Amino acid sequence: MSTEVALRLSGNFIGGEWLPAASGRTFEDRNPTDHDDLVGIFPESGREDVEVAVAAARGAYPGWRDTPAPRRAEILYAAGAILTRDKEELARLMTREMGKVLAEARGDVQEAIDMAFLAAGEGRRLFGFTTPSELPNKFAMCVRQPIGVCALVTPWNFPMAIPAWKSMAALIAGNTIVIKPATDTPASVVALGRVFEEAELPAGVFNVVIGSGSEVGDPLVTHNDVKVVSFTGSTDVGRRISSACAPTFKRLHLEMGGKNAILILEDADVDLAVEGAVWGAFGTTGQRCTASSRLLVHEDIVGEFTEKLVARARTLQVGNGLEPGVQVGPLVSERQRETVARYVEIGMREGATLLCGGEKLTEGELSRGWFFAPTVFGDATPEMRISREEIFGPVTTVIPIGSFEEGVKVANSVEYGLSGSVYTRDVERAFRAMRDFETGIFYVNSSTIGAEVHLPFGGIKNTGNGHREAGIAGIEVFTEWKSIYVDFSGRLQRAQIDTHESAD
């Protein structure tokens, strides 16, 4: 597979065919590292394309539902093998399209590989359960069943991993899919469609429609034939999707924002905590919902920690993620860079101390992309906007705290609840932090990023609506439970009545 795959596969993937948008309109996808690098030209789709794609998914559903799950698993295993074979070229395409450094892009593709194999393994394990009946000669069991057509709306920051998390779980359960990728990163999902095509997934089971949220996303998530909606993105958009789905009671999974805290206590290994903070704050240029954007540091060590953190941040090499040694790539778009720049201005107006960074990088080759210097604020308070609102860029904030209890209180003071971390040598406080942090993911002596696909991924509060991705829990979104009773007594037996007849 060539890294020019996006140029060759620039249509929507509907019913097993690559098709232009009904409107004939297209848009350009350009490299955020170099505006002159055209990654691909993609269809600017609309409601008519959504209708055709949903019809294809609806038509393919009965056949895919009735395909034995072990056979569905064989196709997912084949997809995982193709992803493995093409990992390097897919990663290089992703770096061109999204900007993350090549090592991280490889990790993104590896997550898709891992999820393909994990989901495929469930093809022989989609466990229900049997249970004794309260009546004689009666058998009782529960089984999982697919739900129908699933609408997947995916973000740009993990352009292959997150689509794979969602689609592999939906497919192994027997559902069909229409996916709308982010318009900043359509090429990676187009490439995933090509993988499924080569793996001989039946036509119409996996469909891709590319376009904006208003023109594609809105008609897709509200379509009467869509039974499940899975969305990853901002809390504001998630709230709007929730309202749109409510009238028809669609199954809805939301994975939204984060404002994650690392609590660094006075007994922590400071050097280890600095490494974790740097990786958490500046990995993927801070464009992760799990990014370590709040560093709650005990006042006894805040000076030492901050000095070492700033020194490390200043050494980070910013540039083209395809180049050896580069540690921080560009922001995904000019729009995202402007958002980060506005938050830096807000932080300075609020009275936080700008310790390093805080500026667009426009010298030399960096002038051709959307680069921003790794940025650290010090002397921040929990009430500041930079301490409460998701920035989604290479910006982190040091907040001094006086005790473990204060740190936990500050960590829990924001509207989000995705990921958290504590650095300490005290096992008692480590376990208390595990219990007391209001998050769906937690780390001890590690950063807030780095989830593995066999564990559930997701958060609480304004981060999510109770569902999870990845692991076995990811299948819950895409299945319904059916309870089945088989009475072989040869007579009518009434539950709760015949078993508890009155002595009268």
pLDDT of residue 498: 87
Kindly tell me the burial class for residue 203, based on how many C-beta atoms sit within 10 Å of its own C-beta (0-12, 13-18, 19 or more). middle
pLDDT for the residue numbered 1: 46
β-pairing verdict for 129-132 and 34-43:
unpaired
**Mean pLDDT along residues 376-396:** 97
289 is catalytic: yes
Residue 418 CA to residue 408 CA, distance in Å, equals 14
**How many residues in total does the chain contain?**
504
Which residue in 97, 122, 197, 255 is the catalytic one? Answer: 255
User: Which of 57-66, 153-162, 224-233, 495-504 shows the lowest mean pLDDT across its residues?
Assistant: 495-504
Q: Report angle CA 79, 84, 86 to the nearest 5 degrees.
A: 95
Q: Do the two domains 19-124+148-256+464-478 and 260-444 of this chain adopt the same fold? A: no
Span 21-29, mean pLDDT? Answer: 94
Q: Is 449's pLDDT higher than 80?
A: yes
Give the type of residue at 131. T
Q: Span 497-504, mean pLDDT?
A: 67
Question: 422 burial class (0-12, 13-18, 19+ CB within 10 angstroms)?
Answer: buried
Residue 362 clears pLDDT 70, i.e. is over it: yes
For residue 108 the two structure tokens come to: 């993104």
CB neighbour class for 74 (10 Å; exposed up to 12, middle 13-18, buried from 19):
middle
Rounded Cα distance between 81 and 117, Å, is 9
pLDDT level of residue 293 (50, 70, 90 thresholds) = very high
Domain 19-124+148-256+464-478 is found in CATH 2.40.160.20:
no
**Residue 191 burial by CB count (10 A; 0-12/13-18/19+): exposed, middle or buried?**
buried
| Coil, strand or helix at 150 | strand
Beta-sheet strands, E only, within 308-413: 353-356, 360-361, 371-372, 375-378, 395-401
Q: What is the pLDDT of residues 77-129, one digit of tens each?
A: 999 999 999 999 999 999 999 999 999 999 999 999 999 999 999 999 999 99
Cβ atoms of 180 and 154 within 8 Å: the answer is: yes
Query: Residue 191 corresponds to which tokens in the numbers above?
Result: 């490439």
Read off the pLDDT of each residue in 237-243 and give the average, rounded to a whole number. Answer: 94
- Catalytic residue of the set 289, 356, 390, 476: 289
CA dist 503 → 37, 169, 181, 499, 500 (Å): 84, 51, 64, 12, 9
CATH code of 260-444, in short, is 3.40.309.10
Cα–Cα distance, 237 to 395 (Å, whole number)? 23
Mean pLDDT over the full length of the chain:
95
Domain edges within the chain: 19-124+148-256+464-478, 260-444
CA-closest candidate to residue 104, choices 295, 279, 311, 332: 279
The CA angle 433-438-442, to the nearest 5 degrees, is: 55
pLDDT above 80 for 168: yes
User: How do residues 45-73 score in pLDDT, each as one tens digit?
Assistant: 999 999 999 999 999 999 999 999 999 99
The residues facing 372 across adjacent strands are 360
Q: CB 324: neighbour CB atoms within 10 A?
A: 7
